[in-house]
Amino acid sequence: DGGITQSPKYLFRKEGQNVTLSCEQNLNHDAMYWYRQDPGQGLRLIYYSQIVNDFQKGDIAEGYSVSREKKESFPLTVTSAQKNPTAFYLCASKGGRFTGELFFGEGSRLTVL
Amino acid sequence: AQTVTQSQPEMSVQEAETVTLSCTYDTSENNYYLFWYKQPPSRQMILVIRQEAYKQQNATENRFSVNFQKAAKSFSLKISDSQLGDTAMYFCAFMKGNRDDKIIFGKGTRLHILP
């Protein structure tokens, strides 16, 4: 079945460690996104990519990094520079430019101890 | 910069009633897209309804409809004959109509449908 796969679902890390969240899609979508969800904050955009080898910062990019080497993959690295990394992270992809519909993964819950 | 505001953090209604969720946005763009997404307790986000700003007619999807007021920059979601399965977080979202694929969301409204 076509869709977005995020892994891992749950991740625990010690403070100061970098961690990479995986996001893979087989929908042949050009655009991919990473959002962070915190209680009472809604979804905040971290990074998005409109095409392979290109990505743009969202509203809260500090402390995060991404790559887009393949159309199917858009991994997110949470670096030690991110001051409050514990959160729920959602990856999404979008098909045609004018449809606007995002397809979301099931999310990754990162807890930094 | 565009912003999306949802002023109702939480709402509760009885099953079968009609409920309206509010969303306002700020933009200087003339062409854009607006969306309502639903996030049930499973946390799997799904699109509920979409509105193109250039269309005057309000979008409708079964029990879900919008009231799009472009001049007021308002985009409310009406759920008719609410069902227990409508219990979820609802997010309003905005996308510009140009080549930028950036999509931003509001803070959400938590909706409880009571039996």
CA A68 to chain centre: 11
Q: Can you tell me the mean pLDDT for A31-55? A: 94
Q: Is A96's pLDDT higher than 90? A: no
Cβ-based contacts of B102 with chain A (< 8 Å): 45, 48, 56, 58
Nearest CB neighbour to B50, from listed A90, A101, A104: A101
pLDDT tens string A10-32: 999 998 899 999 999 999 999 99
Interface test with B, best of A43, A68, A104 (most B CBs within 10 A): A43
Please give the structure tokens belonging to residue B99.
């080549």
Cβ-based contacts of B6 with chain A (< 8 Å): 42
- Range of lowest pLDDT (A14-18, B13-17, B25-29, B63-67): A14-18
pLDDT tens string A66-81: 999 999 999 999 998 8
Nearest CB neighbour to A42, from listed B35, B50, B107: B107
- Residue A69: Cβ within 10 Å count: 10
Nearest CB neighbour to B47, from listed A48, A97, A101: A101
B13-49 burial, b at 16+ Cβ within 10 Å, e below that, comes to beeeeebebbbbbebeeeebbbbbbbbeeeeebebbb
Q: How does the average pLDDT of chain B come out, rounded?
A: 94
Q: Do residues A76 and A64 lie in contact, with contact meaning Cβ atoms separated by under 8 Å?
A: yes
pLDDT at B7: 95
- Rounded to 5°, the CA angle A44-A48-A52 comes to 165
Q: Is A1's pLDDT higher than 70? A: no
- Range of lowest pLDDT (A53-67, B12-26, B42-56): B42-56
pLDDT at B97: 80
Nearest CB neighbour to B43, from listed A31, A48, A106: A106
Q: How does the average pLDDT of chain A come out, rounded?
A: 93
Q: Of A63, A66, A70, give the one whose Cα is nearest residue A91.
A: A66
pLDDT at A98: 65
Q: Can you tell me the mean pLDDT for B35-40? A: 96
CB contact under 8 A, A101 and B35: yes
pLDDT at B17: 97
Distance from CA of B16 to the nearest CA of A (A): 27
For residues A25 and A83, the model is more confident at A25
pLDDT at B98: 75
The edge-to-edge listing of strands for the beta sheet with A4-7 is A4-7, A19-25, A76-78, A64-66
